[in-house]
A and B are shown apart, each in its own frame.
Chain A
Amino acid sequence: NAGVTQTPKFQVLKTGQSMTLQCAQDMNHNSMYWYRQDPGMGLRLIYYSASEGTTDKGEVPNGYNVSRLNKREFSLRLESAAPSQTSVYFCASKRASTDTQYFGPGTRLTVL
């Protein structure tokens, strides 16, 4: 099992460009999450998907959209990137019956 995978690992964008961060899990988990991590601020929840077909906003959703493509995949889209979105983005997933979240390796995004 690969667990939670994320692509790309690194990305540099110019202000105003768009991109989609991909996340996939092969553990048959119901719930998936997108977090961002900035220095000195821990992780903050952007969006989550409690189950296939549902998505909802987290703490910092502005400037992002998400798609739960199927049970395995949950993507995060930046429509018009801004320097404030420079961060490390982590995807996570968990089974319905537990609280343990498993994190992907992260995507390091720089917006110039």
Chain B
Amino acid sequence: QKEVEQNSGPLSVPEGAIASLNCTYSDRVSQSFFWYRQYSGKSPELIMSIYSNGDKEDGRFTAQLNKASQYVSLLIRDSQPSDSATYLCAVIPPSNAGGTSYGKLTFGQGTILTVHP
């Protein structure tokens, strides 16, 4: 089982709709979760981080974390064509033997989102 898995895409939604992106992770004790956006040919950029169960909202973006079910999701409300990109879920796995993880990220494979006018 992959450590971080995302729902297979590509995902296509009409402009103005809600886009829902999902991610599951295998290690129950993971504590830090991130969503990165990557435009074609560009580098990833962080759009959301979440550490506690529940919802975290930032503008049109809402991240949801459920540690009991080991999933994290990203909702994009009022989707725009400019939201068309690959969305990468990333997790900082737990460190070994009580040490620090040094911020190492484990990424999912990404979900391609297309928002059509």
CA distance in complex: A1, B108 (Å): 30
Residues on B with C-beta less than 8 A from A40 are 109-110
Most chain B CB neighbours (cut-off 10 Å) among A41, A44, A94, A99: A99
Q: Would B45 and A43 count as touching, CB distance under 8 A?
A: no
List residues 57-75 of chain A with CB under 8 A from any CB of chain B. Answer: 58-59
Q: Would B103 and A44 count as touching, CB distance under 8 A?
A: no
The 8 Å CB contact of A45, one of B43, B105, B110, is B105
CA distance in complex: A64, B51 (Å): 33
The 8 Å CB contact of B34, one of A56, A99, A105, is A99
Q: Would B109 and A42 count as touching, CB distance under 8 A?
A: yes
Known: A40-B109, A99-B92. A50 touches B102 (CB 8 A): yes
List residues 5-48 of chain B with CB under 8 A from any CB of chain A. Answer: 32, 34, 42-46
The 8 Å CB contact of B104, one of A58, A103, A105, A106, is A58
6 further interface pairs, Cβ-Cβ under 8 Å (given A33-B105, A90-B43) = A35-B107, A42-B88, A42-B109, A58-B104, A94-B103, A103-B43
Q: List residues of B whose CB falls within 8 A of some A CB.
A: 4, 32, 34, 42-46, 49, 88, 90, 92, 100, 102-110
Q: List residues of A whose CB falls within 8 A of some B CB.
A: 31, 33, 35, 40-45, 48, 50, 56, 58-59, 90, 94, 99-101, 103-106
